[in-house]
Structure 1
């Protein structure tokens, strides 16, 4: 920003202006006795001012009027104006730099906050998606009908205990009143006395297959009820044609006796380690 005044750019005054300023300055000096002091020798020489002889001016008066004093004052004013202009320019530059720095910091903070919010949102969505997938996987997962048990009698094992001459399912080791759970989600299609099976439950699963749970001591579900994978459906026992507490388990293609399939292969196909 340039220092200006009414006549345009600031610049040192011309010699004519300095001369005029000097003349005005000498007039001012006269009021405080400067001119009187300078004129005193001439006045004394003329007899105390009694005649009209012209007064001779000392050469130094012109220097005072048009020269060094006026010139020095102008130079000082000029330098002060330049200094003020420079100071203002420096101040403005500092203010602009500070403003630019503050704006940059604000933008950086906003970008950082936005990035953090987006990251948190993505993490939340990923967590919710994982939870949904885990829930869906759990709903569709297959489990053992008796947790931590093992097969005590195999599929199609022969013997006089079975009317068909062979075992139509598998037996899982289980003491009296051990919790029995559905191997997968489905709908209860039978719950009650099943003759030689004693108290039994038959469940239809989403893939169209059926599972049967026999010789139960008690039943905790009813026909038409929807059950989840791993949901307890009763307690093991020795009802019906049984020689002791255990769980008789069958996999079937229909709810009827005689539609049995290999239960071990069935469970393994669905990811259950038997």
Structure 2
């Protein structure tokens, strides 16, 4: 409501009136401002959360957090699996290395065992004795008496053998004589490993030379009928020296080395 007052022509309105009007105007303006500011806030309904965008931000943030958490768990699982795989591979390599080492040790042991067996077999072979003529027999005994021999008795034994039969070294040794031996014809003398000597006479051929090492059963020549003989055979002697007259019983000698006659 406006308040007016009649005034004179030359009379100013009272200051208080104008002031009051001004106050009223200010009040009106102020009221309008307050009403413009406070009125809608008080009258309007509180906006829904989704209208502010806050809920959407929260939902997005929670989804991103879940995604990050899932990714972290996936990475953690992958790291654990990789670690487990690496450990399994390490264990597998260690097991393979252990097996390879065990196999190598076993192979080495087997190889060494075979080598020992081979050495033992070779030692036995080199220390073994064989008959000078395979499958033969003594046709003339040791010390048999006859005018055929200058000493009056046989200094060795004769093995029945056709000409050309293989003659073997009875044991390991070194050839000390190989050639013509007078009444013995072509003959070979071998110094044996035990220090004794063996002689092979009346050969048709000689297959070894002086200084050569021979082994048991090695062919050293062929039987024949050279020298002072009545027919082909092998004359065999056992001696204490390479010389004639140092003969010992050849049957006892061979038997002492495991040869049955």
Alpha-carbon distance, 1:250 to partner: 0.9
Relative to structure 1, the CA distance from residue 76 to residue 232 in structure 2 (aligned partners, 3 Å threshold; closer, same or farther) is: closer
> How far, CA to CA, are the matches of 1:115 and 1:155 in structure 2?
61
TM-score normalised by length of structure 1: 0.67
Alpha-carbon distance, 1:176 to partner: 0.9
**For 2:80, what is the secondary structure of its paired residue?**
helix
1:197 aligns with 2:193: no
Which residue of 223, 232, 237 maps to 2:224?
237
Which residue of 231, 243, 261 maps to 1:256?
243
> How far, CA to CA, are the matches of 1:198 and 1:87 in structure 2?
101
Matched positions, count: 225
Relative to structure 1, the CA distance from residue 69 to residue 142 in structure 2 (aligned partners, 3 Å threshold; closer, same or farther) is: same
- Which portions of structure 1, spanning 4 or more consecutive aligned residues, are displaced by more than 6 angstroms? none
Alpha-carbon distance, 1:63 to partner: 8.3
Partner of 1:37: none
> How far, CA to CA, are the matches of 2:69 and 2:210 in structure 1?
101
> How far, CA to CA, are the matches of 2:188 and 2:92 in structure 1?
69
**For 2:234, what is the secondary structure of its paired residue?**
strand
Partner of 1:102: 89
Alpha-carbon distance, 1:139 to partner: 3.5
Which residue of 15, 35, 39 maps to 1:54?
39
> How far, CA to CA, are the matches of 1:137 and 1:267 in structure 2?
16
> How far, CA to CA, are the matches of 1:161 and 1:176 in structure 2?
20
Partner of 1:152: 139
Partner of 1:17: none
Map 1:86-97 to 2 at 5 A.
Answer: 86-97=73-84
Which residue of 147, 152, 167 maps to 2:154?
167
Query: Bigger CA drift: 152-161 or 249-258?
Result: 152-161
> How far, CA to CA, are the matches of 1:74 and 1:126 in structure 2?
76
Alpha-carbon distance, 1:173 to partner: 1.3
> How far, CA to CA, are the matches of 1:93 and 1:115 in structure 2?
32
**For 2:39, what is the secondary structure of its paired residue?**
coil
Map 1:1-274 to 2 at 5 A.
Answer: 52=36, 54-55=39-40, 56-61=43-48, 72-274=59-261
Structure 2 residues not aligned, in runs of 5+: 1-34
Query: Bigger CA drift: 182-191 or 156-165?
Result: 156-165
